[in-house]
Structures are given as C-alpha cells and as structure tokens.
Structure 1
Amino acid sequence: MDIPRDLLALVIYLIVLIGGLVRFKHKKFKYFSLWTGLFLVLYFCVLEIQNKTFFILIPLFFFLLFCYFYFKEKCRLRNGWLLNLFLISFMGYVALVTFSSISLIGIGILAILTLLLFLTVLFGLYAAIIFLIGNSFIVLRHESRRLPNLLTLILALAILALVILQTFGPKIFPGWAVILLSIPTTIAFYFFVVFWNFLSISLLYQINQPKYNQDFVIVLGAGLIDGRKVTPLLAKRIDRAIQFYRKQSEETSSPPQLLMSGGQGSNEKIPEAQAMREYALEQGIPAEDLLMETQSTNTLENMQFSKEIMDRKKPAGYHAIFTSNNYHIFRAGMYAQDVGLNIDGIGSKTARYYLPNAFLREFIAVALMNKHLHLIICGLITLGFVALSFVSYFFVR
C-alpha cells in the first residue's frame, strides 16, 4: 500500500473541492459531482499506469457509450441502463484494483459501498415500507383521496404482502406451490429494476441547464381552478419559465418568447393557454413575448402543436426548451423527441412530500408506453415458474 501517494491524492482532492465549493456557491452539487468523478478517473488511471494494466477501459467504455447516447437523445430509457452498467462496471473495477494494488482510497470507497449494500439488504424492505406508509399519510393530509394520491400507500401494502407471503408461504404450502409463490416476487423484482433505471435517468435529467440562447420556452398546461384560473401547480410552471425569461434577458438582452400550451377541457371555460397568458401578463411579461397554443389535450399534443407554431415562426431553425414540474420533465421530453423536437426541459419545484407519489405516477405512465414488452417479460416469468412447478409436482419426490 502506497500511503504517501494516497494521502497526497486526498489532500489535493480536498483542496480543489473546498476551493470550488466556495467559488461555485450556486452550483455546489454539480461541481462536487464533476470534480469527484474527474478525480477518481485520474487517480485510477495513475494506478493503471503503475500496475501496467488497462482494466479501466471497461467502465470507461460504458461511460463513453452513455455520454454518446445521452447527449444525442437525453430522454431515452436506454440511457438509464447504460448509466447503471457504467456504475456497476466501475464498482467492479474499484474492487479489482483495490485488491490488486491495496489502494487506501479504493478501500474507503469499497467500505462505504459495502456498508450501504449491507444496510440495504438488511433493512431496505422494512425501511421502504415504513417510509412509504409515512409518506402516504402526509400526502393524504395535504391532498385529496384520489387514486393517484394513494400510490405510495398501495405500494407499501403490496411490498408488505410480498414479505408476509415469502416469510410464511414456505411453511404452509407444498414445494410445487412455493415455486408458484416466486412469480409475484420475481415480477416485483423485475419492475424494481425497471423503476431504478427510470429513476436514475430521471434524476440525472433534473440537473439539466440549458443555454441562455433560446427563441422559445414552451410552458406545458394543466387544469384550471373554476375553469379559468391557473392552479398553484400550473403557476409554478409559468414562474419557472418567467425566471428563465428574465435571466436570459439579463444575460443577452434578447428574451425568448413564452409559448403557453394547453387546450380547453370539457369543464373549463377558457383554454388553459389563455389563462396562462393572463397570469404571465400579470407578472409583467410583455404581450409581444407571449404566444398561445390552444388545441392540445395531452402532453404529446402540447409538443406536436407547439412544434408547428415554432416551425411557422422560425422556419430557418430555432432553439427551444420547455417547462413543467420537475417530476414530469423526463416523460415530457420523451414526447418531445417522439414528435421530432430535440429540446431540453427545466422543472419547477414540487413539494417534497409529494415527490415519491409523483415519480411513481410518472413511472406507471412510462411503463404503460412499453406495456407490450413488460407483458411479454411477465408472461415468460410466469411460464417459467409454472413449468418448474409442474416438474416439481410430477417428477420430484
């Protein structure tokens, strides 16, 4: 173990980290992530040179592959798979290098990861059940008792049922039936992996920071109060667009146009876009910087009809972004890419207590976009365990 080398590396890391955090006060997380990642790459490259090995090329390959597809199309689920493949390969690489060269920093990283894994395996399910039930009560204190607001409670009860089933099932049922009990557990694990992939890329997308060179900012509509006033949720979307509008005006003296996108629902007296425009006017946005799209009835149509307006306004090309609630921007970005809009989204803040429920709702919506694939995989899982149960019942004594 080369302790002087590792201590020197840690000192350099901490000095640069502290200096950067002081300088970039408003971008602390982004700076911490970038510098920590760069430091680890440089550190392990030095170890590779000393050991005359090239194992780092494996995680580096997945990282470059992720970067290529992410910056090409940010709102694709495959980016989550590639990101997690990189993280898994990097952790495997850290373990390999740590044991082969006895790295102090590697041992520290492995110790933290091992502790987290141990705590997750030991307490993860029970902690998740307690958290989800607690969160559901908080949501119900603030929100109506509609199905979309009960998702965390439903998930907690489903996990609890699986735990009880797997704990007491083997003691009650014969072997062939116990095999069948593995079907819901395996399907649940499959959807957990899919959800983790979705959550990984959704959270990464939250730190997106578009350049201040936009021609348009699309504001996605939502329901109205009494059919004519913007809701607090919709007001936050508009406020986020106005914040970007004013910041770009300060930076470039060339503000973007705010494109309010939302049609008129059956219980609404005016189109959502009109109510949004009136709200923006009240906030001091000039009328000439406001556009309206009043035909859309869902997010896909928001993007499609907004694209048609922008194409007419600037046929030679343009830069655009969209705003919505932070939990919604990834799925909205998927719809944007589906209609040929390669644009980024910026999210308005959502009450923290509502985020678990909101991300679950978004995950369900995204999963339904690929429902045929999920049904096929669930069907194969079911058939596999039914076949094993059949063999166990007739041929195993």
Structure 2
Amino acid sequence: MNFLPEILLAIFLVGGIFATIVWRKKKPDPDIVFFCLVWTCICLIFYFAGIELLNGGYFFIFPLAYLAIFLWSYFKNKARLLNGVLFNILIFVFGFYLIYNVSMTSSIVAFGLLGLAALFLASVLVFGFVSLIIFLYWNALIVLKKESRSLANMLTLLLAIFLTFFLVYDHFIAQRLPDWLTILLAALPVIMGYFALVFFNFLSVSILYQFNHPKPNQDYIIVLGAGLLNGDTVSPLLAKRIDVAINFYHHQIKVAGKHAKILMSGGQGHDEKLPEGAAMAEYAKAKGVAAADLLIEDQSTTTLENMRFSKRIMDQLQPMPYKVIFTSNNYHIFRAGIYARKAGLRADGIGAKTALYYLPNAFLREYIAIVALHKKRHLLVSILILALFVFLSVMSFFIV
C-alpha cells in the first residue's frame, strides 16, 4: 500500500504547525489554536483532493463548494445565527464525504477521522444526558459559591433541576400513564429537542465568533459597560473588557502608527455614583491611555443603546464609513454583534477572557436573550409541535 500521501500530509502538517506557533508567538493576540486549526484544515483539503484525483474522483468539489458558501455567509456578516446552522450542516456534509472517501480510496486518515467522530457520538449517546446533569449541578455549586445568588447566576442550577425531573418522569412515570396522555406529554421532549438544536447552533456560531482578528486600522474601539463595584469602581469583569481595548489600542499604534479613539460606553445605574463610561475612562487613563484618545458615552442602559448612542457620538465626529470594533467579555460579543448591526454599525467584537466556571451560566443567559430576540418564531414552532401531539393524542384516545 502506498503511504506517500499520508507521509506528505504529516510533513506539511507538522512543519506548518511549528511555523504557525513561531509566527503567532510574536503577536499580541497569539490565538495559536485557531491558526493551527486553519492550517490543519488546509492540509486536509489538499490531502483529500489529491488522493481522490489519483483515484479518478471529483466528489471533493461538493464539500469544498459548501465550505465556500459558509465562508461567504460568515464574512458577509459574522453576527447572525444562520452561520451556526451552515457550519453544523458543513460538519455533516464533511462526515458523509469521509464515508464516501473511505469507500473509494481506503484512506487511513479518513477512516481515523470517522472513528474519532463515531467514538464522540457514542460517548454522547451513552453518557451525555446523565453526565450533563451532573456537570450542571457541579457548575451551579461553584457559581453560587463564588458569585452572588441572583437569578441570573442560578441558570445552570435551574436547568439541572428541570432535566432531573424530566429524567425521573421518563424512567418512572411515563410508562404508567394512559397512551393518549403519554403521547400528549411526548410534545415536551420534542420541544426540548428543538430548543437544544437552537442552542447547539447558537453555541457553534458563538465559538466561531471568538476568532475575530480585526486589522490594526481602526478609528474607534467601543468598550461596552458593566456594573461598577460599590457604585464607583471598575469591576474585574469590566476591567478585562477595557484591558482588551487598551492592548489593541497600543498594538495598533505600534504596527500602524494610528491612534484609535476608545469610546467608553455605559450609563449610570440607580445604585451607581457616576456613569460607567466615566469610571471606565478614569481606569484607562491610569493605564496610560492619552485623554485625547478617550471618548465617553454615559446615557446607555442596554447593549443596544451602547451601540446606538456610541454611533451617534462617532457620527458627530466623523462621517461614515469609519472603522470600528467593540470589546466585551467573550460570551457576550456575539449578541453584541447582532445589536451593532441593529444600530447600523458594521462592527465586530473581540472578547475578554472569562473564568471557565462562569461560562456555562453566562452562555445560558446569552442563549435566553437570543431566543427572546426571535420569540415569535420559537413560539410558533412550539405551538405547531404541541398542536401535532394534541392531534395525535386525540386520535389515540378515540381509536382506543
């Protein structure tokens, strides 16, 4: 058997990854994992195309064409849920292509990737639901120990309790109910499955959105506000947002010699002694940002207002088009990107790191907010599912 294609793949893959690591270490935002994944994908594309051409096949054109569709959609507007749907479909298209490739070329690489995918799916099917519940309880305990016991910080706990009740119902109660009632209640797991699919698409596009690498040619950097400690002090969470903006600000000056204006956006809450934007500006000054490069927006109370009121200030200073990005915590930047488009800004975000223990709760909160943005659509789907099972339940009751 000829292993030359696999040997060449290994040489180019390892060599490229090493070169990527050396290259990205010199950058202020290395993001080594992302660029190594990109190089790996490029190597696999050439590998599969090459071995298929050697065997007289051209089927690789189909996943490549679909990849082009996804990339076109993504770079046209990164902040839309459609990208998550397209990406997940791309994964399935690539999976079917691997099955075809194995049958045609007997590629050990394709066989290995299929084996890993099968192992992952089997693990999810065997351990997924119970493991998810255990993880949610464990995460909830950590969040409640380290954060305030607000409703927003109890989302993983509430989800764990709900899934526990569903598990108990499914294993101990469902079999004891009459058929018509069992059929009616079967609408619940179907609706749950629908919202799980929506969450999966949301999570996929949120992860993809983390890999923004804006060019160092920006005119403005918007920093989205958050609550102040004791009503007047920048919190650690807010400080991370500001630090990301400051790092990009200094990086742009270093590589392009261009000063961006950092626009601190945040109004004054009922329990705050001064507007968030003013406190954020003072923090940035203490970090060495020139006062001339700082702007303050101090009227907003929501993310959408952050974007709208910031745009108003930028429009007064400079007519569009101007180049602008925004910073927030990593779990928040996708939804903020949606609001930026609603406000008429072509702006993408860069995210500040968030403690790992807080991410599940934070993403659940963002997911709920995303669902609320399209509540009519999700309500309609839920009603249609329920109506179907009501019909099936009635038919079962009268037929029996």
TM-score (norm 1): 0.96
Q: How well do the aligned residues superpose, as a CA RMSD in angstroms?
A: 1.6
1:253–1:13 distance in 2 versus 1, CA, 3 Å: closer
Asked whether 1:248 is paired with 2:227, we answer: no
1:78 paired residue number: 82
C-alpha separation between the residues in 2 aligned to 1:204 and 1:180?
Answer: 38
- The superposition leaves residues 345-367 of structure 1 with CA deviations (integer Å, 9 ceiling, x where unpaired) of 11111111101000000000011
1:261 paired residue number: 265
Shift, 1:197, TM fit: 0.3
Q: Which runs of 5+ in 1 are unaligned?
A: none
Q: Are the aligned partners of 2:5 and 2:47 in contact in 1 as well (CA < 8 Å)?
A: no
1:6 paired residue number: 6
C-alpha separation between the residues in 1 aligned to 2:38 and 2:280?
Answer: 37
Which amino acid is 1:139 matched to? V
Correspondence 1:273-292 to 2 at 5 A: 273-292=277-296
2:121 paired residue number: 117
C-alpha separation between the residues in 1 aligned to 2:61 and 2:391?
Answer: 41
Which of 156, 159, 168 is the equivalent residue of 1:164?
168
1:183–1:119 distance in 2 versus 1, CA, 3 Å: same
Shift, 1:51, TM fit: 3.2
User: Which stretch shifts more, 43-52 or 202-211?
Assistant: 43-52
Q: Which runs of 5+ in 2 are unaligned?
A: none
Stretches of 4+ moved more than 6 A in 1?
Answer: none
2:354 paired residue number: 350
1:15 paired residue number: 15
For the residue of structure 2 that corresponds to 1:321, the secondary structure is strand
For the residue of structure 2 that corresponds to 1:324, the secondary structure is strand
For the residue of structure 1 that corresponds to 2:327, the secondary structure is strand
Which amino acid is 2:240 matched to? K
Shift, 1:19, TM fit: 4.0
1:44 paired residue number: 48
Which amino acid is 1:195 matched to? F
For the residue of structure 1 that corresponds to 2:351, the secondary structure is strand
Shift, 1:58, TM fit: 2.5
C-alpha separation between the residues in 1 aligned to 2:20 and 2:290?
Answer: 38
- The superposition leaves residues 83-129 of structure 1 with CA deviations (integer Å, 9 ceiling, x where unpaired) of 11111111111111112221111110011000001011000111111
Which amino acid is 2:293 matched to? D
Which of 332, 335, 342 is the equivalent residue of 2:339?
335
Shift, 1:300, TM fit: 0.5
User: Which stretch shifts more, 13-22 or 344-353?
Assistant: 13-22
1:61 paired residue number: 65
Q: Are the aligned partners of 1:176 and 1:393 in contact in 2 as well (CA < 8 Å)?
A: yes
1:190 paired residue number: 194
| Identity among equivalent pairs (%) | 46
Q: Are the aligned partners of 1:80 and 1:201 in contact in 2 as well (CA < 8 Å)?
A: yes
Q: Are the aligned partners of 1:165 and 1:181 in contact in 2 as well (CA < 8 Å)?
A: no
C-alpha separation between the residues in 2 aligned to 1:337 and 1:351?
Answer: 28
Which amino acid is 2:373 matched to? M
C-alpha separation between the residues in 1 aligned to 2:83 and 2:357?
Answer: 27
C-alpha separation between the residues in 1 aligned to 2:22 and 2:258?
Answer: 31
Shift, 1:207, TM fit: 1.4
User: Which stretch shifts more, 33-42 or 223-232?
Assistant: 223-232
Asked whether 1:201 is paired with 2:172, we answer: no
1:329–1:185 distance in 2 versus 1, CA, 3 Å: same
Q: Are the aligned partners of 2:184 and 2:389 in contact in 1 as well (CA < 8 Å)?
A: yes
